[in-house]
Amino acid sequence: MRHGLYLPPFGPFGDPAVLVDLAVRAEAAGWDGVFLWDHVVPGAPPIADPWTTLGAIASATSTLRLGPMVTPPARRRPWVLARQASTVSRLSHGRLILGTGLGSDETGDFSRFGEPLPARSAKFDEALTVLRAIWAGDEVRHRGEHFAVDLDASQPEPHPIPVWTALSAEHPRVLARAAAGDGVFPLAGPHPPAPETLARLVSAVRPEGRPFDVAVAGNASPAWDEPSAVDLGALAEAGMTWWLESLIHFDPLELSLTVVDAGPPRR
């Protein structure tokens, strides 16, 4: 099992220099990854762009896996997202993981800019088709409901870019989308899913015969003021391959850095 950090690039983490320092400290403390939320409207100002920051983190670290967790393809042009992901993947020598999801409008990431919420699911699926074709170096002559792309064939990506899918509901279309990717990130609310719930989800989406990650977020570090009782062993037995320690913007930065410096929870 691997251990990562999962945090928003706003509030006390809104300074990109703070995020780069946090990632360097995380690597030194034994964490395996750092993953940033992707929003355009902050829950608390200021806010840093995740992709620019991930490029800086890639250049300042050597072993950390990194990526957005999660980016909504429905509000990003897929050809731009493909180039952003490709750039960070090459900068990091193949350490990028692309976390994807429908996206939340909790702070107005869609509605404040006139983005249609009902089209999110269809745009998500179509964008992933375009992304994968661009990364493969294929000639792309795409005419879809939401996107039109004309690209000549090019060199394929030098490193594979795993795609994880966030899900908050177990609808057949959502499960099929997750199963077609390289990992799943269940968003179960403020607490991680129960081991039996996770096991049922894993059995529904994990494909046979190829690697597939299962990432779960929550709080298990003993460095918190009030540590939570999370049975990481039971979650691992249920199929979890990544534990993501969640750092939240309303906690003091000093406390979050204490959790980072303490290293991954080993229980």
Rounded Cα distance, 170 and 182, in Å: 17
Whether residue 129 is contained in a domain is answered as yes
∠ CA 15-265-39, rounded to 5°: 30
| Res 188: pLDDT | 75
Which phi and psi (to 5°) does residue 223 adopt?
Answer: -80, -10
Residue 245 confidence class, pLDDT cut points 50, 70, 90: very high
**Percent of the chain surpassing pLDDT 70:** 100
Placement of tokens 């220099």 in the chain: 17
Domain range spanning residue 99? Answer: 2-262
Question: What are the residues facing 11 on neighbouring strands?
Answer: none
Global confidence as pTM: 0.96
Residue 90, Cβ density class (10 Å: 0-12 exposed, 13-18 middle, ≥19 buried): middle
First-to-last alpha carbon distance for the chain, in angstroms, is 11
What is the tens place of the pLDDT at every residue in 79-134? 999 999 999 999 999 999 999 999 989 999 999 999 888 889 999 999 999 999 99
Task: Give the distance, in angstroms, between the CA of residue 183 and the centroid of all CA atoms in the same chain.
Answer: 10
Angle at 117 between CA 72 and CA 123, to 5 degrees: 50
CA distance 51 to 57: 10
The answer to whether residue 227 sits within a structural domain is yes
Give the residue numbers annotated as catalytic, written as ranges. 39, 106
Tell me what pLDDT residue 118 has.
85
Q: Give the number of domains in the chain.
A: 1
Judge whether residue 189 has pLDDT over 90: no
- Tens of pLDDT, residue by residue over 158-177, are 999 999 999 987 888 889 99
Cα distance between residue 214 and residue 99, in whole Å: 12
Q: What's the Rg (C-alpha) of the chain?
A: 18
Give residue 140's pLDDT: 96
Over range 21-40, report the average pLDDT.
98
Is 61 part of any domain? Answer: yes
Residues 195-244: tens digit of each pLDDT: 999 999 999 999 999 999 999 999 999 999 988 889 999 999 999 999 99
> Is residue 267 a part of any domain in this protein?
no
pLDDT band at residue 27 under the 50/70/90 scheme: very high
Model confidence at 54: pLDDT above 90: yes
Site of tokens 């499960």: 175
Dihedral of CA 45/224/60/64: which sign?
A: negative
Q: Is residue 130 part of a domain?
A: yes
CATH code of 39's domain: 3.20.20.30
Are 204 and 171 spatial neighbours (Cβ–Cβ below 8 Å)? no
Query: What's the confidence (pLDDT) of residue 135?
Result: 97
pLDDT band per the 50, 70, 90 thresholds, residue 267: low
> Average per-residue pLDDT in the chain?
95
